[in-house]
Each structure stands twice: as C-alpha cells, then as structure tokens.
Amino acid sequence: MIDAIATCRQSSREATPRGPPIEMAIRFSSSCTGWCSAPPLGLLESLARNEPVDDIRAGRAIQMADRLRHEYDKMLREHHALTVELRKLAAAAKEEAKPDQARFAEELIVHAQNEEQVLYPATLVIGDYLKLRRSSHAGQ
C-alpha cells in the first residue's frame, strides 16, 4: 500500500514552487491571517453601517489591500498549485482508506475557494472603497 502523504510529497517535489503539499498546506492554512482578519475584513461591518473608520485603521487596511493586490496573481497561482496537490492527496487518502487525511485535504480545498472567491476580493474592494472614501472626504 502506498502512503498518501508520501505519494503526494513525491509527486509534488518538482511540481510546486514552495515544496511538498503538506508543507504548503501548513503555510496555506495559516496564510489567511493577514487578509482574513482585521484590519480590512474587520472593517466590513462598520463600512456596511456607514460608520466612521479612524484614519489609522483605514490606512492599515488600505496598505494590506494594496499588498494583496500586488501579490494577488501569484497567490492565485499558488492556490491552484496547492489545490492540484490537495486533490491528489485526497484521492490517495481515499484509496488507502484514510478518511481523516482525505477530509483534511478537502477542507483545505474549500478554504482556498473561500479565500479566492470571497475573502481576497472583499479585501480588495474594501481597500478601493476606503481610498475613494478618503479622497471624497479630502475634497470636502
């Protein structure tokens, strides 16, 4: 029987820019902390209520959104590479009757989709909105 993790590591050594998928998954599962937590997304409720946001928090959110925008294409490519490897891991784990490993891989795939389809775009929109809000307040 082939070990799912060993198989996935071997198959990805040359295929991914940052190493074996398990190492990438560990980085990936914690990569959200910069974009998914405050300041950008932490301001979303206040912005939805049209409440004021102090300049320091707005400035940090804009900087983070700008950094994400600069790295966006690279991050999406890395997500794609990781997702390919996670699908391999899930398939191998299922073949070897290792449901915990398969579920882990599948949950990380969903996590990646959530980041790509919701969290990252929301962060970019928040940054753009804060810039527009700043410029409109500066002109008054």
Cα–Cα distance, 56 to 114 (Å, whole number): 28
pTM for the model stands at 0.70
Instruction: Report CA-CA distances (Å) from 139 to 53, 66, 130.
Output: 17, 22, 14
Sequence-separated (6 or more) residues with CB below 8 Å from residue 4: 89, 92, 93, 95, 96, 98, 101
Tens-of-pLDDT digits for all 140 residues of the chain?
344 455 455 544 444 444 444 444 444 444 454 545 557 899 999 999 999 999 999 999 999 999 999 999 998 999 899 999 999 999 999 999 999 999 999 999 999 999 999 999 999 999 999 999 998 877 66
Question: What is the CA angle 128-55-30, rounded to 5?
Answer: 65
